[in-house]
Structure formats: C-alpha cells, structure tokens
Structure 1
C-alpha cells in the first residue's frame, strides 16, 4: 500500500514539473519614452500586466536619454510591439514604445 501511495505522489510531482516546463515564460524588454516619474511607471506597469501572464514589471534606465526599459516575463512567446501599444490604450499618446525585444 505504501508503495502505491508513493508511486501516486511521484506521478503527481512529475506531472506538475512537466506542466511547469510547458508554461515557461518568455522574457521581454520594452524600451519606452515618456516615463518620467513613478506615476508614469505605474501606468506602463498596469498596461503591461494586461498582457498574457505578466505578473511583475521592473524598470531600468534606457540606453538612450529619456528612455526607460520595462522588463517583464509573459506566458506568450509571440508578443509584438503592437501588443504593448494596444495594451497602453489611450496612454499610447503619452508613452512611445520604441522597441520590444525578446530575451528568451
């Protein structure tokens, strides 16, 4: 009986780990202009969290002056710059998405 329970538990863990690999997230970096304060970061972060599987966003100073890099992971492996612009909605008038790069 103990072996049967142990086998069942092992099967559950193996299934969970296989499922976790299937849902691996892709890393993205969006280069955005117009992000000049913490409220701006909040607006962009809220928009990015509308994208599939995005749970958190971090910001770094961009390579060019007046740009910020929004770094996040998504469950979608096929996000495009237009997806980020669409998620920004009316805020796309304030913030310009210069580029969206996929890291993984």
Structure 2
C-alpha cells in the first residue's frame, strides 16, 4: 500500500509544473526614432540590461514610416511603457516609446 501511495504521489508531483517556472510575457508597442541597425542595437542593449528578466527585444517596421514596432519578451509581468522609457536612459531623447502593452 505504501508503494502505491508513493507511486501516485510521484506521478502527481511530476505532472505539476515547478513553482519557480515563469511563462514568458510578450509586450508589443510602437517606438519612434529607429533609423538604422545601430539604433536597434542601442534599444536592445538598454532594455535587456536594465529591465528585469528580458529574454529578447525586437524592432520591426511599423504601420507608418515614422514608427516602428517594438516587441519585448520577458519573464516579468511588470514592464510598462514608463519603465521601458526609463531603461533607455539617455537614449530616451532619441527614441520615444509611444506605447507598450502585454500581448
């Protein structure tokens, strides 16, 4: 009987996800001022280094020629437009994050 209970408890615990596993959150928004690969590299480095648990940052062509699409994937559900703008530091004078929201 003890062996059966032990086996059942192991099966149940193996089926449950670990408590410290976090599911990545995708944020999408718009940013202006990105005109070249160096601009993209500056944004990527600043957001990756200064925001907690950022997995990736991508800047793609936007709907209009003056705006680009900003995509941030992070194991952090607390990123906002304001925290991302703050993370840009001195680059915030060159690049303006217009919006950023969880997808």
Fold shared per TM-score above 0.5 = yes
2:35 and 2:68 map into 1 onto residues whose CA distance is 9
Specify whether residues 98 and 19 from structure 1 end up closer, same or farther in structure 2 by C-alpha distance, changes over 3 A only. Answer: same
Q: CA RMSD in A?
A: 2.5
Q: What TM-score do the two structures reach when normalised by structure 2?
A: 0.77
Specify whether residues 13 and 72 from structure 1 end up closer, same or farther in structure 2 by C-alpha distance, changes over 3 A only. Answer: farther
1:45 and 1:90 map into 2 onto residues whose CA distance is 14
Specify whether residues 98 and 11 from structure 1 end up closer, same or farther in structure 2 by C-alpha distance, changes over 3 A only. Answer: same
Structure showing greater radius of gyration is 2
- Tell me the equivalent position of 1:58: 58
- Tell me the equivalent position of 1:74: 74
- Tell me the equivalent position of 2:102: 102
- Structure 1 stretches of 4+ with a deviation exceeding 2 A read 9-15, 17-20
- Tell me the equivalent position of 2:27: 28
